Structure 1
């Protein structure tokens, strides 16, 4: 599959369906979208600081570290409700796991499997494979902001958040060629995710839908 050598938004610019499929899209629910408006608002090889979610709740979570060339900032991902904070934490780590898998060219990432259902795990690996096949890694910085979490009537977690990719780039491992993400509104994405808590107490991401230009910054 030929794809532009860009970060996530370049794939989406070429064809929105590609990224939605790659990220493990699930259809969004209109009633859920309405309910989220009232949700509480939280504000190379790996070598950097490990994940901060190291099992304060007793769960043995995999360590996730990002390279020194790539930074993922999560602005105001906090909530006074411990249950909603747990959703924020595991939703954050699911995203960080995918970034780390791209950086490490790791199609069988333990962390991606840990935080993803079978469906989203399979689709995430297809997305990671695009980078592996092109021998690309990611560098620069992404900022995740405007996180909103709730628990639906069915007991599932709902997490919406925005990701600004305009300061991120791809870097080819062999040639060193760097291609920047376009500085356009389309490079700020909205993620709409559902999470379900497994018997071990982990909120696994079970569906993801990505909206182009769904956020402003």
Structure 2
């Protein structure tokens, strides 16, 4: 009788404890991340041409609201960080970041979606296909990209297709990892801008590796 009464007394307390635990888990704040452009556009005056980053393709495995991370460089397993999400779709984040970087480096204007401007202004059409968009927690960010630049109303300029692999070391934590991925996109922007204007310098630091996997015209 005493045992049954004690059990009945503890049951509500256990329920309160479980409810409190679930509430604590549910109240953990979600962090939202963005791949910001590496520096603001600071070129003023009349642009010589426009840029249109009109196609960005990314692997399905990372096309999620959550940040998808690997635990080690040689790991094939990718896991979501449910408390860490992209502020927008990852595809849009990459497109906006690369466009802003290229506008800044080239002194161009972004004419994506502006059909009227494209009919009058020389334009570089740019496509990117990401074969890898790896975020290796506490280690590095890695991208492997095939990109194409196609001149429209640009005289003797010719199209080019290249593949580039970039790795940037990351410190501990998610913030550092996102920053490294943003730096990798900044370096990719330098490489593409250099192919367009022949003057933009790639600004790699000691923690970055840039590898050209080949280029050809067409």
TM-score range, shorter chain: 0.3 to 0.5
- Scaled by the length of structure 1, what TM-score is found? 0.38
- Scaled by the length of structure 2, what TM-score is found? 0.38
Larger CA Rg, structure 1 vs 2: 2
